[in-house]
Copies of this chain bind each other. A is one copy, B any other.
Amino acid sequence: MAPPPPPAPDATLSDVGEFGLISELVALFPQGEHVLVGPGDDAAVLRVRAGHVVVSTDLMVEGRHFRRDWATAEDVGHRAAAQNLSDLNAMGGRAHSLTVGLAAPADLPAAWAIDFARGFAAECALVGASVVGGDLTRASEVVIAVTVIGACTQAPVLRSGAVPGQLLALCGRQGWAAGGLAVLGRGFRSPRALVDAYRRPAPLYDAGRAAAEAGATAMIDISDGLLAEAGHLAADSGVAIDVRSAAFELPEPLQAVGAALGVDPLSLVLGGGDDHALLATFDPGSPPEGWVVVGEVLAPGDGGPGAVTVDGAAYEGATGWTHF
């Protein structure tokens, strides 16, 4: 049988139909050698080695986590994969398989779904992971559900291992995506470097495992805001954390946005998420290459376990965002 012709450029999901679109999407997902059965059966079948399997799942909702007028479908695909791949990175693990569910209105352009899948597949390819299954259904808004499965070759690094006296260190650029989101929110499209950072984050997928091997005692992915994530790490470890504001580089684009929007660029760094930088704790001394010391781990003080201070004092700005 000849393959079906590609959908017309203006075709909607409703025009193309569930099964037509699924076959278009599946063709975009190459399967790794560990995938014995990919998409299309009741379940995918993977061959895995014995050991630690790491699993994480995330939802993205249109209008809340992304806007179709602020990013291309391909960008959204990259971001959806990146935020899940980054969760495994923060355990010191590496993804090998993902599933993706797409709930969407019937009038969503089929091309959007295809471009989304193309971006998703491209991001997964950066770590050699395969999209092994999915689901497609109708809803009144676009909801993307991703689950990522991977392996740890060493003991996973949890949020709960920080000990007073250790260093808090950051790996990866931080605040750039928040800056991009801030300018998009005001109707601007520049500085381009920040807008691009928001649209398509670039997590350092080798950094998590390297940190684990270098002795990271606790690690977390910054998706909801640096201080908020530091708070999760401190709470789970039963410690307090003090962040040193002078430790953060404030590169030119962040300063430009701060000046243009009248916000302190440091607030983008401390409260912003979406760059998927990593925050980890290490024994005193030099952190691994690529990591910058940004604070220290303290015994719980008056604020109790989980308290996070900036330069020794409570922080007045936003520390992250909540979902309700």
**7 residue pairs from A and B, CB less than 8 Å apart:** A18-B322, A42-B220, A43-B55, A43-B150, A48-B50, A61-B103, A101-B145
Chain B residues positioned under 8 Å from A52 (CB to CB): 36, 45-47
A51 touches B48 (CB 8 A): yes
A17-B322, A87-B43 given; A137·B64 CB < 8 A: yes
Q: Chain A residues in contact with chain B, CB under 8 A?
A: 13-14, 16-19, 21, 36-37, 40-61, 64-65, 87-88, 90-91, 93, 97, 99-103, 106, 132-141, 143, 145, 147-150, 152, 156, 158-160, 219-221, 236, 322-324
* With A37-B158, A147-B147, A323-B137 as contacts: A54 and B50 at CB distance below 8 Å: no
A108 nearest CB neighbor, chain B only? B324
Which secondary structure dominates chain A's binding surface?
A: strand
For the complex of A and B, list the 6 residue pairs with the smallest distance between their C-beta atoms, beginning with the closest: A145-B145, A147-B147, A43-B56, A57-B99, A50-B50, A42-B90
Copies of this chain assembled into the complex: 2
CA distance A158 to B37 in the complex (A): 9
A135 touches B58 (CB 8 A): yes
Let me know if A156 and B55 touch, CB within 8 A: no
Contact check, B138 vs A64: say whether CB atoms are below 8 A apart: yes
Question: What separation, in Å, do the CA atoms of A60 and B137 have in the docked complex?
Answer: 8
Contact status B322-A134, CB under 8 Å: no
